[in-house]
Amino acid sequence: MKVTTHFFFIVVLFIGFAQIAMSQIIPPNPITVTGIATMYARDPLTQSLCFGDGGPGGLFQDGIAKNRCSDLNFNSYIANAFKVGVEGNRKGVILDLGTAEELKAKYGFTETVGNGQAFASIDIRNGKAQILKDYKTGDLQDLVESTSLFESFKNRESIPVKVGHIYLIRSTGRDDKDPEMYAKVLVLAYTPSESVTVRWQLMTDGQRAQITDPASPSH
């Protein structure tokens, strides 16, 4: 009995040390690059979304409603539309790529159950916007809208919201010295003049973003 007890204690101790070692060797990634968020037209805080952390674009401070980080706005400037570049020192462009089904038909790649490959594959590589070409090899092809994404920002900062549609976003500082930010957004649910729920994901030119928060809505 004593031998069995000692053996059990040693096994538990070994597992504990192993878990501690793993946590030290592989630290968790604190950066969230994708998530689900709901934006509400009547709420002064969640009218906008911050891609940096997936939180509301606004905040209350000292009894005043203030901007915190508004990368994407819903309905505040144009009814039932998205708008980017709303902060005073930012400018941006947002493009409607259509639905996953439309993209599959247009570019000829293989989709899987749930139609997730279109959104998942969209990326920015070497100054070009790309999408899946071959599901088996993972090869990409240029989006037709790639050239348009990198053209002038003028008069392309807003676009109507459509459920099921995927949007591509590029923004930067107005003096062109700030690094450019790229993001993609999939509209999951939409009630005109009330709310829109989106799957959003940041992208970095030349490096595929990794999903770090599988699935559950946090805002």
Number of domains in the chain: 1
How far is 50 from 161, CA to CA, in rounded Å?
18
Q: Decide if 11 is inside a domain.
A: no
Domain coverage including residue 121: 32-203
Question: Residue 203 in contact with residue 184, Cβ under 8 Å?
Answer: yes
Bridge partners (DSSP) listed for residue 66: 59
The answer as to whether 49 is a domain residue is yes
Integer CA distances (angstroms), 100 to 84, 120, 178, in order = 22, 10, 32
Which tokens sit at 95? Answer: 């493009």
5 falls within a domain: no
Residue 135 lies in a domain: yes
12 within a domain of the structure (yes/no):
no
pLDDT in tens, the chain (219 residues): 555 555 444 444 444 444 433 333 334 444 448 899 999 999 999 999 999 889 999 999 999 999 999 999 999 999 999 999 998 888 999 999 999 999 999 999 988 898 899 999 999 988 899 999 998 898 999 999 999 998 878 878 999 999 999 999 999 887 767 788 999 999 999 999 999 999 999 987 644 433 333 343 444
Is 83 contained in some domain? yes
Q: Which of 87, 82, 95, 100 is nearest to 41 (CA)?
A: 82
